[in-house]
Structure 1
Amino acid sequence: MTSPVTVDTIIEAHWIIPVEPEKTVLIDHAIVIDDGIIKAILPSSQARIQFTSLNHIALNRHVIIPGLINLHTHAAMTLLRGLADDLPLMEWLNHHIWPTEKQFVDANFVMDGVKLACAEMLKGGITCFNDMYYFPEVTAKAVIETGMRAAIGLIVIDFPSSYASDADDYLAKGLALRDQYPQHPQLSFCLAPHAPYTVNDRVLANIMTYADQLDLPVHIHLHETHDEITHSLNTCGLRPLARLHQLGLLGPKLIAVHMVHLIEKEIKLLKQQNCNVAHCPSSNLKLASGFAPVTDLLAHGINVGVGTDGAASNNRLDMFEEMRLTALLAKASSHKAETLPAHQALRMATLNGAIALGLDKITGSLSIGKAADITAVDFSGLTLSSCFDPVSHLVYVAGQEHVSHVWVNGKLLLDDGELVTLNEKELINRAIQWQKRLNS
């Protein structure tokens, strides 16, 4: 008889939802992890025979899913949560957020804000996030310390900040950062021009050149509000998407965030160019930006992932809430209850995000050979009883408070609800100190 193979970790669970293949639910199965990689997924009874591990975890009332992927956020802005609520986007930015950032944002602000965000995201089952903010080198350092995975946005914007003097300086510093981490197991990078109304044509053209040369995604706010479109028509004579198309920015590397206000020919253009969309339903609702035509985007075969946006405009980094809203808003707007079923919402919050970031060979689903980026959700509580369909429960019932365990690259970062690499009390104290500074 063959001796069992020794591996790093074996996780048994009542349900495993791998996302790939679609609509698959495995009952009483185990995930076998070795050297941070998923080595096998098989019935628990077979796993006990074929493998052995000192780290054998039995989650008998849990569902295991791929780690959630937050396709758009501004992690450091967690320190600005609730600073200026109930305002439209441009008033919120021009009169509150940008002035506050100009006065207070520095490397220390970003480090504390990103760590606070990482803690919140890990406790909510998020293993990877796509960021856009100042001092991306600090964000990268914080991510490495916490053990999470992140796509670091190399922000570019036309106006100066404490981070960079002009658009060329932003771009140069961002590209230098990317060169520091050519193959880091937790980090990837995106070029992140803020928006069409804050980045000029020359810089956008340069960004497209670098994206092609370095094979980097381009992460940009786009078609978020009516004001944005009106401004573009008045200054350029083109709607923002047409302007980006003219500059050569549309393509499979583009991650277009929000995409609320679209006409039919623009949706067809997005499909023709194989663009990706990051859907942020809570932020769109809170800023009264509108309702993104997600049903139409999906019907055209466009890859749509889900993001929270920053905590200053959401005000939570809760991907369970975003999944639920994604499904419910699609049903309401289409007047069809069968629109965007739960399994599709889960895929949008996992694998679709990985595809947009070019990380789908690494993460986004539970597949042999992929990184062990895993979230466990405890279904033993009162509000989750009884369960007829675990996928439906994940989207319509479960919340971030039900997440019990999180692994990234096979490393346990959340253990029975407790953070492993971050000190929660210390993070709260730092946030309180920043709140006092901002209020002074």
Structure 2
Amino acid sequence: MNAIDSQQQIVDLQINAKTVMPFDPNQKELLFNHSVLINDGTIVDILSSDQVASKYQAKTVVELGQHTLLPSFNNHYCSIGFKAFHHIGSDLPLNLRIQNKIQPLETKHLSPELASISSELGLADLFRAGCAQFSSQYSYPKQAMEVANKHSVEALIYYSIDVSDDRQTFQHQLTEFLKLRDETKHRQNIELGLSLSNPELLTKDQLNSFSGLYNELMIKLLISLNPSFHRSHKSFKSSKARFKLLKEHHLLSPDLHLIDVFGLSRQEVSFLSKNKVKSIVCPCAQLIHANALSPVDFLHSTNANLYIGTNNYLSSNLNPLKELQLLAWLTKLESQNAQLFDAKALLGFAVHSNNLDTPLTSGAMSIGAKANITAFEHANQYTNDYDPFTQIVYTAEQSRISHLWVNGIAKVKAYQLTDIDEQYLTKTLSKWLN
């Protein structure tokens, strides 16, 4: 380290990049030849690289002269513990794959130990995809929480309540959820939400009681408007009927997270937007299940809270970039409007966090925000009139993500995972499944 000037502030990390996309309304949308300064896991400054030496002395300097820095991605809906089964039956139709392959293997092998191994392998995939945040619904939520906590990743973990014909089971599961929520509430980077299937099976009194609890505790609630065959019950009639049920029981709020949002009228979609319901789009899964695509163009036009997820239980994909590219092309095709969505808006679906109240909590690269940063390497030299937003959305591949910092700590460095022993985990997983 060079001699320290009395005017210089010592920081942990300085990242010099060709381009910075802060996604901060208080900054320009593109900053060329800029540096991001990080200390104690927090962004302390973003300024022109030629101005850094007069103000800061960094313990570590990373030169990324052909890269764009942007906020890390957030996979808003996945099943991180399902990674162990991604390769099973991928050549089969979806219903046969799940009924004849996946579910028997889950019944036979799935355990807390296997869920931990699989969750860490899933997190390795997320890191490679540039994700420092995720929301997950799968068996053994406690194991997913422990893996997220181990790697200091922000996570929303949904505790699944599968409402069956035995309505007494619902109350028991709800009690277990509240117990686990209380046990883990001290973990600042992790939140426990609730996934509720088949709400039609609950009595009116049960729904009213649950609604009061949901609104009082501000529980993050995940519900599918159009459940796939393996999650649906004969009581499910249509997305409109489920929408009506949610509306009648005052569950349409910013704490409601909806997947499979289609089959509604424009008036109903507008109502979702008005009530700030979080709409999560998972294009790969919707195509695989031969569902209709969510009306993303109309949702966006009503200022809906739109986010991208991967639903890897159906798609075997944990990479939000793949979903973004598919969404970009499909929405243009469906709307017959080639100008629909600029690339920056699409990227926003993937980089925004669960809290959009301020730049510090929205996922933006802002001074004072957590240093969750992805570095994307461009294939060729480019000039300042080149649009990196378009490059990342329409032509980017996961293989171009060279670095990922989570709270200022490198999780991917020069394309390599830094603290997940993927080879060991894969070997251990094979022993379990064999």
Q: What TM-score do you get using the length of structure 1 for normalisation?
A: 0.88
Compared with structure 1, are the counterparts of its residues 408 and 318 closer, same or farther at alpha carbon in structure 2 (3 Å cutoff)? same
Q: Which residue of 1 aligns with 2:331?
A: 330
Answer whether contact 2:162 2:197 (CA < 8 A) is retained: yes
Answer whether contact 1:277 1:304 (CA < 8 A) is retained: yes
Letter in 1 for 2:172: D
Q: How does 1:348-387 map to 2 (within 5 A)?
A: 348-351=349-352, 353-355=353-355, 361-379=360-378, 381=379
Answer whether contact 2:321 2:398 (CA < 8 A) is retained: yes
Shift of 1:46: 1.4
Q: Which residue of 2 aligns with 1:167?
A: 170
Shift of 1:3: 1.4
Q: Partners in 1 of 2:273 and 2:90 — Cα distance?
A: 35
Shift of 1:52: 1.0
Q: Which runs of 5+ in 2 are unaligned?
A: none
Compared with structure 1, are the counterparts of its residues 5 and 140 closer, same or farther at alpha carbon in structure 2 (3 Å cutoff)? same
Shift of 1:407: 1.1
Match of 1:141 among 136, 143, 146: 146
More displaced 10-residue stretch of structure 1: 120-129 or 395-404: 395-404
Answer whether contact 2:273 2:302 (CA < 8 A) is retained: yes
Q: Which residue of 2 aligns with 1:212?
A: 215
Compared with structure 1, are the counterparts of its residues 67 and 205 closer, same or farther at alpha carbon in structure 2 (3 Å cutoff)? farther
Answer whether contact 1:23 1:343 (CA < 8 A) is retained: no
Compared with structure 1, are the counterparts of its residues 345 and 237 closer, same or farther at alpha carbon in structure 2 (3 Å cutoff)? closer
Cα deviations by residue, 1:275-294 (Å, 9 ceiling, x for unpaired):
11000001111111221111
Shift of 1:239: 1.2
Task: Please state if 1:10 is matched with 2:10.
Answer: no
Q: How does 1:289-304 map to 2 (within 5 A)?
A: 289-304=291-306
Match of 2:281 among 279, 304, 308: 279
Match of 2:160 among 135, 147, 155: 155
Match of 1:241 among 243, 247, 266: 243
Aligned residue for 1:54, secondary structure, equals: strand
Shift of 1:31: 1.1
Answer whether contact 2:8 2:55 (CA < 8 A) is retained: yes
Match of 1:431 among 416, 425, 429: 429
Q: How does 1:119-134 map to 2 (within 5 A)?
A: 119-134=124-139
Answer whether contact 2:134 2:154 (CA < 8 A) is retained: yes
Cα deviations by residue, 1:317-358 (Å, 9 ceiling, x for unpaired):
11111111121111111111110121011001111x4337x8
Cα deviations by residue, 1:202-244 (Å, 9 ceiling, x for unpaired):
655444333322223212222256999995565x996111111
Answer whether contact 1:89 1:289 (CA < 8 A) is retained: no
Q: Which residue of 2 aligns with 1:389?
A: 387
Letter in 1 for 2:372: D
Compared with structure 1, are the counterparts of its residues 200 and 11 closer, same or farther at alpha carbon in structure 2 (3 Å cutoff)? farther
Root-mean-square deviation (CA), in Å?
A: 2.9
Q: Partners in 1 of 2:158 and 2:430 — Cα distance?
A: 27
Q: Partners in 2 of 1:211 and 1:426 — Cα distance?
A: 41
Q: Which residue of 1 aligns with 2:341?
A: 340
Cα deviations by residue, 1:248-272 (Å, 9 ceiling, x for unpaired):
1111111101213222222122123
Q: Partners in 2 of 1:219 and 1:229 — Cα distance?
A: 14
Compared with structure 1, are the counterparts of its residues 120 and 332 closer, same or farther at alpha carbon in structure 2 (3 Å cutoff)? same
Identity rate, percent: 24
Match of 2:48 among 19, 34, 43: 43
Shift of 1:313: 1.4
Paired residues, what number?
Answer: 425
Q: Which residue of 2 aligns with 1:102?
A: 107
Shift of 1:178: 2.2
Answer whether contact 2:225 2:239 (CA < 8 A) is retained: no
Compared with structure 1, are the counterparts of its residues 206 and 45 closer, same or farther at alpha carbon in structure 2 (3 Å cutoff)? farther
